[in-house]
Amino acid sequence: MTLPVLSVASECFPLVKTGGLADVVGALPLALASESVGVRTLLPGYPAVLGRLQGAEAVHGFDELFGGPARVLAARHAGLDLLVLDAPHLYDRPGGPYADSQGRDWPDNPQRFAALSWVAAAIGRGALPDWAPAVVHGHDWQAGLTAAYLRYGGSPRPGTVFTVHNLAFQGWAPAYLLNTLRLPPAAFDIEGVEFFGGIGALKAGLRLADRITTVSPTYAREIATPEEGMGLDGLIRARARAMHGILNGIDEAAWNPAADPHLPAPFDAARPEGREASRTGLRTRMGLEDDPGALVLGVVSRLTGQKGMDLLLACLPALLGHGMRLAVLGAGEPALEAGFRAAAAAHPGRVAVRIGYDEGLAHLIQAGCDALLVPSRFEPCGLTQLCALRYGALPVVARVGGLADTVIDANEAALASGVGTGLQFAPTTAAALEGGLARLASLWADQDAWKTVQANAMRAPVGWERSAARYAGIYRGLI
């Protein structure tokens, strides 16, 4: 019998994406189908989402939803069973999902995502005439109030699961919005949604959901510490029995080097030498010097301090001193964008930078670089290193969060045993990253060892099969 589950999120690939959250929300329902779990995904009706729906059908209406009328549309897209909250007063505006075109957060974000959570709770309680979920699964702070609305709405209710993709984004709102957000006075309590004198949407999910997951075992341990818990470590420790660290996976159909339309030629783990066409294509497209013997490093990342991009800039002299080349794709903090632009201008042909995001170029970087740099200060899971493994680019990662859980360091013991898949470095400092680059240069000089590690990387499990089974087990445990 298929178990009905409602997934609630603020973004979902391929409809709307700002980061890894969208990839997970888009891929997990497809993986759960093999576990006899039927997922419907509730999303905000941003213009980009509504513009890509075909044959959408209105299945429920709200006369007044946080400032105006709204309706729920049902549709299918890219194999996903979708429910889209069409509320023009909340979502029909230019800019991104969370901010305007100048990067300023929408001031009514608390209401915008409370509305998403309110509708999720209504669906959980049977608002749709022909479908009711046994479990409601919310993702990140934007869906954090779902558990609160279900908990304070009385019984019966479905089971609730809440996934933390990044503890740094907490969805805090001032206390005076309690009534506006349709929360009862009893909710404003340390055992409810109260957080540092205001309303914590992420805190609400952590405190009130029946089960909590985060996106890697190491990150689950890290956020239970004062150093990484961002004010929530005590609550996380208190709910340790409800917490599960489950690794993310990638969509192996979308990230498949043997059938990737973004690449000049296909290749696979059985013949990784076929990636040479992508190496040439990347150098050409990014304007890097045509030196096949030079090790090319890739970055596909937000350009932020969290991602360690300032450390990479500090290590550029060492990187170039090893004769390496660097191809960067990303956007983020203005000072870091400017720093990478300046580096490209100072080192033409050796450093190339594209500010923004380009899905096709992201695929080409994964397929054409020799190693992918992920020097994050913290990383709940990370998906880019999983793509690198799949495409035969050796990940060079900080030993944190999901990076530590997904990359096997090719140290002497691992090389002797034939199990390494990349390089780890610690702590997350410029000096340690320079040490990782020196190790990488030594490995590159031993091409037999390099090819062994590369072949290991391409055979590493990066999909959703094991993790989907764990999610299905959690869902069924709530019934």
CATH code of 3-249+464-477, in short, is 3.40.50.2000
The CATH class given to the 257-459 domain equals: alpha beta
Q: Is 307 known as a binding-site position?
A: no
Domain coordinates in residue numbering, the chain:
3-249+464-477, 257-459
Neighbours of 196 (CB within 10 A): 11
Structure tokens at 172: 């805090």
Which amino acid, 410? A
Task: Tell me if 3-249+464-477 shares its fold with 257-459.
Answer: yes
Residues 399 and 310: beta-carbon distance below 8 Å: no
Structure tokens at 264: 């000049």
Number of helices (H), then strands (E), in the chain: 19, 18
For helices 447-459 and 384-391, the axis angle rounded to 10 degrees is 120
pLDDT at position 19: 86
pLDDT per residue, tens digit, the chain (479 aa), is 899 999 999 999 999 998 889 999 999 999 999 999 999 999 999 999 999 999 999 999 999 999 999 999 999 999 999 999 999 999 999 999 999 988 899 999 999 999 999 999 999 999 999 999 999 999 999 999 999 999 999 889 999 999 999 999 999 999 999 999 999 999 999 999 999 999 999 999 999 999 999 999 999 999 999 999 999 999 999 999 999 999 999 999 999 999 999 999 999 988 888 899 999 999 999 999 999 999 999 999 999 999 999 999 999 999 999 999 999 999 999 999 999 999 999 999 999 999 998 999 999 999 999 999 999 999 999 999 999 999 999 999 999 999 999 999 999 999 999 999 999 999 999 999 999 999 999 999 999 999 999 999 999 999 999 999 999 999 999 98
**End-to-end CA gap in the chain:** 13
